[in-house]
Amino acid sequence: MSDLRQRLFAELDSIRLIDPHSHIEPKTAASKTLADILGYHYYTELIHSAGMPRVEIEDPGLDPKEKVRRLVARIEPLRNTVQYSWLLELARTFFDFPTDEHLTPANWETLYDTAAKRMAQPDWEQQVLDRTKLDAVFLTNNFDDPLTDFDTKRYIPCLRTDDLVFHLSKAAVRQRLEKATDTSIKDIATLRSAIGRLFMHFSSKGARACAISLPPTFAPTKVAPEAAGTALTALLRSTAQNTSPETLANFVFWTLAEFCAEFKLPFDLMIGVNRAVYRDGVYQGQDLYDSRVSLIQYQELFNAFPQVVFPISVLASVTNQELVSYAWIFPNVVTNGHWWYSNTPAYIEHDAAARLEAVPQTKQIGYYSDAYKLEFCLPKFAMYKRILAKLLAERFVLERGWTEDQALDLGRRILRGNVEQIFNM
Amino acid sequence: MSDLRQRLFAELDSIRLIDPHSHIEPKTAASKTLADILGYHYYTELIHSAGMPRVEIEDPGLDPKEKVRRLVARIEPLRNTVQYSWLLELARTFFDFPTDEHLTPANWETLYDTAAKRMAQPDWEQQVLDRTKLDAVFLTNNFDDPLTDFDTKRYIPCLRTDDLVFHLSKAAVRQRLEKATDTSIKDIATLRSAIGRLFMHFSSKGARACAISLPPTFAPTKVAPEAAGTALTALLRSTAQNTSPETLANFVFWTLAEFCAEFKLPFDLMIGVNRAVYRDGVYQGQDLYDSRVSLIQYQELFNAFPQVVFPISVLASVTNQELVSYAWIFPNVVTNGHWWYSNTPAYIEHDAAARLEAVPQTKQIGYYSDAYKLEFCLPKFAMYKRILAKLLAERFVLERGWTEDQALDLGRRILRGNVEQIFNM
Amino acid sequence: MSDLRQRLFAELDSIRLIDPHSHIEPKTAASKTLADILGYHYYTELIHSAGMPRVEIEDPGLDPKEKVRRLVARIEPLRNTVQYSWLLELARTFFDFPTDEHLTPANWETLYDTAAKRMAQPDWEQQVLDRTKLDAVFLTNNFDDPLTDFDTKRYIPCLRTDDLVFHLSKAAVRQRLEKATDTSIKDIATLRSAIGRLFMHFSSKGARACAISLPPTFAPTKVAPEAAGTALTALLRSTAQNTSPETLANFVFWTLAEFCAEFKLPFDLMIGVNRAVYRDGVYQGQDLYDSRVSLIQYQELFNAFPQVVFPISVLASVTNQELVSYAWIFPNVVTNGHWWYSNTPAYIEHDAAARLEAVPQTKQIGYYSDAYKLEFCLPKFAMYKRILAKLLAERFVLERGWTEDQALDLGRRILRGNVEQIFNM
């Protein structure tokens, strides 16, 4: 079986990829130093969790090399974690880090210097893309991103809308919206028009998705325009916080879905995160969740927008079965990757197995990197491909008597084909 | 291990079965054409979910052969699903469908014609029963089913009570009840008496269970007769909908439990379904669920009726651990099969493993088919038996050093013996 | 792989243990007869669940030998359970019970007599400790336990606080508190002072933890002293039950956390149990749970007490992913063992796998016995070590290419090293 799994992995690993969700900055897609790598929140938050004070990590003006030195000095407790294994795989693949060594105070500097040298090569970004077999990467763009000065075929714009839905009560957000759309927001009509202009702009730049992350309490409903108008008026007149933020949040969310229909954009829903639960956590290391969330909260949305595809990520593995069932019943619900706290092997294996056996093969997007730097796409996708090879070997070839070719066809769809189909590429 | 598992499967596969829950129609138990097979909601809903418009599937007056042609033309996206594997196993076993072929526009007609010929044989039903080694099948009978003109030893009546509990506010349901019981329902006493007559009727026809499916919000409580009386009076006087449907639902539900005690009938509870979530779904393909349900909601019921056995099915795998724990503590709680959205291998394996190691072996009903047509009992039970063989091999023979005979004794109880014991057969 | 797993198990099995949570009575730590073993609630509740009336089990004044005879006569339905496997492993290890026999009416008396003879040996307790390689065992002490007349290095005191938090409205509990602390409780200040005296007492006796079990509805919040004072006054003046028990419960809980900070004691939280759900259950066999609980309920606590370590146990496996995530983010959250209804192999394997790959290795306490009698530590830890060996073999050595020594280092930390570190031993 081990041989079978390795053969399947080798084939899956040869597939050219499109990464359907990341936080890559297209103008600084690759890393400049190892501090960009070790500064990823997975490392800073885990090292902080294991005992390193936040101030030592987030010391302002900290030199990148000193930052890496400090983090490596406290990284030993992370050796068992899969996140640490991404780091070693990345270091071995890109920077010749020895196969049998851990990252320690004794060897980090060699790695740092080697990495700095490679990263300084003018074609470093291209080298990483080539080695990762990455054809394109979806971005996470602020709604007022001009989307200029980068190759939107390689770095595909995606309209991220958390601010619009959940922070419109902040004057700064409204000002950004007014500026980006050259619209004075006075009422529901102008608000709607401004949002429409965002879609026009993003669409014209080749955006392939609208996306949002949602707290576990959110349950979208259609709001009557009058109610939304009243809420907006109250907000605009007051210098205080919006008194009915939920009404406006629902209005904006529903409006986004309407524009997704109009512009034929899939609407990525990332369901379940509570922000800033650990208030003294490191940057990007404060969010957690309440796993008591249900897709029944999205019942009205899925019924109201049959023409919009909703690629859905759930934060907690306990929600995955609902996702499988909703994707099995609703034509417009698609499973999307393994998100954040569920992006570890035990949960991926359990969740992916359930999807592979009950969701039509055309409705599953296997994986996305969620990465901030290009170098992470390789080890993260590799982790997923190893698990996918295991599932295909055990559950399809051995259990169900599939040929290896049949299993690989399924793998190729999940990994690549569906990304192209579902996002109309 | 592979050999061990195959040996165990072969033995489990030789056991003669009683299927303790199905939707078989006893007078048309077997299929007439392949449209009866492909018309099973698992195929229509998955094919619809994968893109086929409902109107093309549910076109009224559609010829069976044309229906099959249309469905097969859109079935390719389902090839990975376990439901599709049931279809292939069924076609291979009963209709000589080639082992290495998928169902395609090129070969469906041959299969259709072969199936039609076989199904037209006068002893087709018996052939299916023999091949499946099925001794008896539990039905799902409407409360006003006369239960006549079929062999109630082979097709065992089961009193299904969803309508009584949740739809008594509908005049049509009350009229059916009055007619079936020759009772004029004027108050709580006559309502109770009518329900008692249903039990007498079903009991006299050899019914072996009362059953109901329940929404995740339901939490049965005992209602004072006065409150129930008030609610019933309000309902009977008004032409409008019942103003306190929950009071009456609870009264009827509790009354059913009382009659289960009196008539010594197990009360099958199928917990967790939300009906008509996807309003435009195909027939029987609209229901989903909210996995936020707890057996704590049934605390009062389990305490109040120690003499009633409650075989319990849960819709979501996340509820399975509660089911295991409640069956481990409450003498009257029994685990029952793997229901609907949890009836896929990854969930069966996880859920059955937990049951096998913590619930007394006399309190587990391994599996039921939930089938609408006899032909499905074979592939569905086969799926379960393969998983059971895996669990017995890995977790009992290899992990715990059991002999194969000991493991098979456990398997026989789970598959057959407990059905006879628990349903007093 | 089988050989690998056995090698790893053998090494893990050679580790000397500290059991970080039990209900051992230090003056009667070992059993006197087999009735102490078979009287463990796991057996009485499962045998009752399988059909034996409670009165036959709890017959007052029942002779120990007769009790064992009765229980063995009804134990056959439990043979599949892991709890029964603990019993056989214990009987084989300590009492030469034959490897290939079940416990039956034909052989129980020999076992009973052999056990009685061994248990009567003056060094029986030491024999059990030696055979189990147990260096020390944490206790569960009532807050008014004098902690005298036993070796507190071997049997480590632990301040259990359920009564203080949830039953202070009972006069008997307040009287116990007043007596134990020589304090007259008149107001918030004297209540606080009394609690402080408990910590002083326990600390002086070498206590290493404060502990509490919590219902799924509990969500600790800081209560203003005035509100707590009002609630306490109302309670003290009235002969009736406390009118706002939640206010006082929260006040006491928060005060406990404050003293944990002051006395540098970890605060074990055992989250999720509903008491007395099955009212007619056997002794200690009445509690169940509602798995709809979230660690988000503890958000304020974790933020407010960064200097207190919270080793957390969750009752339901569905809460384990939250535990993993909270331990990954919060420096003061530590994963602790596999509790009660989650202490069965299928759940341990799923839950431990997730912890091993995402929680820093210094923040995981692998296992505790929760035992009432010393003899159970061996089979319960053995169960865990077998699963740990499996996870280390499959997920670290085979999947991630670790050496066996690296895997064993992780195992040693989880099993022993972290207990010493986290509880400051």
Specify whether C402 is located in the same domain as C283.
Answer: yes
Q: What is the pLDDT of residue C2?
A: 80
The mean pLDDT value for B24-51 works out to 98
Contacts of A357 in chain B (CB under 8 A): 80-82, 344-346
Q: What pLDDT, in 10s, does the model give residues A165-176?
A: 999 999 999 999
Q: What is the pLDDT of residue C13?
A: 98
**CA-nearest residue of chain A to B100?**
A402
Specify whether A109 is located in the same domain as A153.
Answer: no
CB pairs under 8 A between A and B: 103
Q: Would you call B286 and A329 a contact, using CB atoms and an 8 Å cutoff?
A: yes
User: CA B343 to CA B366: how far, in whole Å?
Assistant: 12
**CA-nearest residue of chain A to C409?**
A80
For residue C168, which phi and psi values (nearest 5 degrees)? -70, -20
CA distance C138 to chain B (A): 26
Specify whether A170 is located in the same domain as A101.
Answer: no
Q: What is the CATH number of the domain that holds A168?
A: 3.20.20.140
Structure letter (DSSP) for residue B281: P
Mutate to test the interface with C, among B357, B392, B421, B422 (most CBs of C within 10 A): B357
Query: Is pLDDT of B213 > 60?
Result: yes
Contacts of B281 in chain A (CB under 8 A): 329-330
User: Is residue C25 included in any domain, yes or no?
Assistant: no
Residue C119: which residues within 8 A CB-CB, separation 6 or more?
C30, C31, C32, C33
Q: Would you call C285 and B329 a contact, using CB atoms and an 8 Å cutoff?
A: yes
Contacts of A395 in chain B (CB under 8 A): 345
Specify whether A171 is located in the same domain as A222.
Answer: yes
Q: Which residues form the domain of A92?
A: 33-119
- Strand A273-274 and strand A288-289: the pairing is antiparallel
Nearest to B329 among C281, C316, C345 (CB): C281
Q: What is the pLDDT of residue B382?
A: 98
Specify whether B117 is located in the same domain as B249.
Answer: no
Q: Would you call C326 and A288 a contact, using CB atoms and an 8 Å cutoff?
A: yes
- Looking at A30-39, A203-212, B369-378, C240-249, which range is the least confident one? C240-249
Domain boundary among C84, C111, C126: C126
Confidence band (pLDDT; 50, 70, 90) for A242?
A: low
Q: Would you call C345 and B302 a contact, using CB atoms and an 8 Å cutoff?
A: no
Confidence band (pLDDT; 50, 70, 90) for C12?
A: very high
CA distance B115 to chain C (A): 42
User: CA B248 to CA B227: how far, in whole Å?
Assistant: 9
CA distance A146 to chain B (A): 36
Q: Would you call B358 and C83 a contact, using CB atoms and an 8 Å cutoff?
A: yes
Residue A348: which residues within 8 A CB-CB, separation 6 or more?
A338, A342, A383, A384, A387
Structure letter (DSSP) for residue C98: -
Contacts of B362 in chain C (CB under 8 A): 50-51, 77
User: Is residue B368 included in any domain, yes or no?
Assistant: yes
Q: What is the pLDDT of residue B248?
A: 94
- Looking at B60-64, B143-147, B324-328, C371-375, which range is the least confident one? B60-64
Residues of C near B (Cβ–Cβ under 8 Å) read 45-46, 48-51, 77-83, 85, 274, 277-281, 285-292, 316-318, 341-342, 344-347, 350, 386
Q: Would you call C278 and B410 a contact, using CB atoms and an 8 Å cutoff?
A: no
Q: What is the pLDDT of residue A53?
A: 98
Q: What pLDDT, in 10s, does the model give residues C295-353?
A: 999 999 999 999 999 999 999 999 999 999 999 999 999 999 999 999 999 999 999 99
Percent of chain B with pLDDT strictly greater than 90: 96
Specify whether C210 is located in the same domain as C310.
Answer: yes
User: Is residue C50 included in any domain, yes or no?
Assistant: yes
Percent of chain C with pLDDT strictly greater than 70: 99
Specify whether B64 is located in the same domain as B193.
Answer: no
Nearest to C81 among B299, B306, B360 (CB): B360
Contact A140, A191 (CB under 8 A): no
Q: Would you call A303 and B278 a contact, using CB atoms and an 8 Å cutoff?
A: yes
Contacts of B46 in chain A (CB under 8 A): 328, 360
Instruction: Give, in order, the Cα–Cα distances in Å from A371 to each of A45, A379, C17, C210.
Output: 15, 11, 41, 41
Query: Is pLDDT of C106 > 60?
Result: yes
Name residue B245's beta-bridge partners.
Answer: none
Specify whether A103 is located in the same domain as A191.
Answer: no
Q: What pLDDT, in 10s, does the model give residues A69-121?
A: 999 999 999 999 999 999 999 999 999 999 999 999 999 999 999 999 999 99
Other CB atoms within 10 Å distance of the CB of residue B356: 27
Q: Would you call C322 and A316 a contact, using CB atoms and an 8 Å cutoff?
A: yes
Structure letter (DSSP) for residue A239: S
Query: Is pLDDT of A411 > 60?
Result: yes
Q: 3-state SS string over A253-296? A: HHHHHHHHHHHCCCEEEEECEECCCCCCCCCCCCCEECCCCCHH
Q: What is the pLDDT of residue B2?
A: 79
Give the pair of three-digit tokens for residue B76. 């390719």
Q: What is the pLDDT of residue A356?
A: 98
Q: What is the pLDDT of residue C97?
A: 98
Q: What is the pLDDT of residue B269?
A: 98
Q: What pLDDT, in 10s, does the model give residues A274-287?
A: 999 999 999 999 99
Q: What is the pLDDT of residue B140?
A: 98
User: Is residue B275 included in any domain, yes or no?
Assistant: yes
Confidence band (pLDDT; 50, 70, 90) for A416?
A: very high
Q: Would you call A316 and C296 a contact, using CB atoms and an 8 Å cutoff?
A: no
- Give how many domains chain B has, as a whole number: 2
Other CB atoms within 10 Å distance of the CB of residue B347: 24
Mutate to test the interface with C, among A46, A75, A79, A80 (most CBs of C within 10 A): A80
Query: Is pLDDT of B61 > 70?
Result: yes
Q: Would you call C278 and B330 a contact, using CB atoms and an 8 Å cutoff?
A: yes
Q: For residue A238, count CB atoms less than 10 angstroms from its CB and return exposed for 0-12, middle for 13-18, buried for 19 or more.
A: exposed
Q: Would you call B350 and C345 a contact, using CB atoms and an 8 Å cutoff?
A: no
Query: Is pLDDT of C241 > 60?
Result: no
Contacts of B354 in chain A (CB under 8 A): none
C333-336 β-sheet, strand order: C158-160, C209-214, C267-271, C310-314, C333-336, C364-365
Q: What pLDDT, in 10s, does the model give residues C52-88?
A: 999 999 988 999 999 999 999 999 999 999 999 999 9
Nearest to C321 among A79, A286, A318 (CB): A318
Confidence band (pLDDT; 50, 70, 90) for B239?
A: low
User: CA B11 to CA B1: how far, in whole Å?
Assistant: 15
The mean pLDDT value for B258-284 works out to 98
Contact C213, C270 (CB under 8 A): yes
For chain A, the 3-state helix, strand and coil shares in percent, each to the nearest 5, are 55, 10, 35
Query: Is pLDDT of C243 > 80?
Result: no
From B170, A74, B106, select the one nearest C361 (Cα to Cα): A74
User: CA C51 to CA B307: how far, in whole Å?
Assistant: 11
Confidence band (pLDDT; 50, 70, 90) for A2?
A: confident
User: Is residue B22 included in any domain, yes or no?
Assistant: no
**CA-nearest residue of chain A to C292?**
A292
Query: Is pLDDT of A144 > 70?
Result: yes
Q: What is the pLDDT of residue B104?
A: 98
Q: Would you call B288 and A294 a contact, using CB atoms and an 8 Å cutoff?
A: no
Chains that touch A (3 or more CB pairs under 8 A): B, C
User: Is residue A2 included in any domain, yes or no?
Assistant: no
Contacts of A85 in chain C (CB under 8 A): 400
Query: Is pLDDT of B50 > 80?
Result: yes
Domain boundary among A119, A142, A158: A119
From A7, A8, A5, select the one nearest A415 (Cα to Cα): A8
Query: Is pLDDT of C119 > 80?
Result: yes
Domain boundary among C98, C126, C154: C126
User: Is residue B5 included in any domain, yes or no?
Assistant: no
Give the pair of three-digit tokens for residue B171. 């005049």
Q: What is the pLDDT of residue B240?
A: 58
Alpha helices by DSSP H, B28-81? 34-38, 41-49, 54-58, 64-73
Specify whether C116 is located in the same domain as C141.
Answer: no
CA distance C254 to chain A (A): 18
Percent of chain A with pLDDT strictly greater than 70: 99
Specify whether C100 is located in the same domain as C139.
Answer: no
User: CA B158 to CA B202: how far, in whole Å?
Assistant: 8
Query: Is pLDDT of A1 > 70?
Result: no
Contacts of C399 in chain A (CB under 8 A): 345, 386
Specify whether C122 is located in the same domain as C142.
Answer: no
Q: Would you call B354 and C341 a contact, using CB atoms and an 8 Å cutoff?
A: no
Query: Is pLDDT of A363 > 70?
Result: yes
Interface predicted TM-score (ipTM): 0.97
CB pairs under 8 A between A and C: 103
Q: What pLDDT, in 10s, does the model give residues C142-151?
A: 999 999 999 9
User: CA C122 to CA C132: how far, in whole Å?
Assistant: 17
Specify whether C242 is located in the same domain as C284.
Answer: yes
Q: What is the CATH number of the domain that holds C67?
A: 1.10.2020.10
Nearest to B328 among C49, C286, C386 (CB): C49
User: Is residue C64 included in any domain, yes or no?
Assistant: yes
Q: What pLDDT, in 10s, does the model give residues C213-223?
A: 999 999 999 99
Q: Would you call A303 and B289 a contact, using CB atoms and an 8 Å cutoff?
A: no
Mutate to test the interface with B, among A290, A291, A299, A325 (most CBs of B within 10 A): A325
Q: HSE of B56 in the Cβ direction (CA atoms, 13 Å)?
A: 15
